[in-house]
Structures are given as C-alpha cells and as structure tokens.
Amino acid sequence: MYSKEEASKLRQQFWITFGRYLKPIPSADGMPINWINYKTGVKNVFFRMNAEQHQAIIAIELTHGDEETRNQYLEQFKALKLLFGAAVNEEWDWEESTSNEFGVPMSRISKTLNGVSIYNQQHWPELISFLKPRIIALDQFWVDVKPIFEDL
C-alpha cells in the first residue's frame, strides 16, 4: 500500500511518462498538442483519460448543465456513430445519463481496460498501449467532426 504522497508521485510520473511518449506525435491537423489535457475547443465536451488502481478509461464526456443541450450533443454523436466506430475501430460504451465523481450529470462514450493499475509500473506499457491509439483516433475523429459541434 502506498502513502498518499507516494501514490500521487506514481500517478504524476505515469502521466509525465505518457506525455513524453506522445509529445513527438502531432495532432491530426499537424499542430503540436497537449495529449494529456486534450482541448476539444467546444464548451462542455471533454476527452478524458484516467488510470486508477484497477482500470483505465478513455472517454468523451458531455457535461452541459442543461439536459436538453446535453442530449442534443449526444444525439449528434449517435448520428456520427458509424464514423466514430470506423475511427476507433472498436465498440465503446454509450451512457446517455450518468454522473461524474462529483455528482455532475453527464453523458459519456467510453472504453475501459480492467485489470491494470497505475500503481504497478509493470502495467504502464499496457496502459500506454491502451490509451495512446485511442486518444490519437479520437483526435482524428474530432478534426473531422468538430465543425458540426461548433455549430450546435
């Protein structure tokens, strides 16, 4: 078991390592990008990566405070589901109504890898191999569809 400080340092070191690993890779539009803190440029649409003690998750989170607006964005993602599936090349989980750890309502499109721990450095290659191609695929998808969401 790790102390809070040790756990924090391990998490920080993982994300530094992950960031260094992806730093040379430009975004789909050829620009430098902060892969760890990906900015979609559309309010209340986030690409999140999270690694924990037992799993890793990559997700698109729609956090619009107005449920009708959030549903409108989710419906647009659903309309693009075939394009999304072609970009990520796998099935993801679609949650119309859920909430984050703070109880904020949201919709989420996500992929989870179970049985890995950010606190086990031997799992880091598997975590990186899980997150890297998916965030790159999300970026490519987003470059293609972002204008649709900017107009909503």
Of the pLDDT bands very low, low, confident and very high (cuts 50, 70, 90), residue 59 is very high
pTM score, two decimals?
Answer: 0.93
Q: Which of 112, 97, 92 is nearest to 63 (CA)?
A: 97
Of the pLDDT bands very low, low, confident and very high (cuts 50, 70, 90), residue 101 is confident
Q: Where are the domains of the chain?
A: 4-150
Q: Is the pLDDT of residue 140 over 80?
A: yes
Mean pLDDT of 129-150: 96
Predicted local distance difference test score (pLDDT) of residue 3: 86
Top CATH class, 4-150 = alpha beta
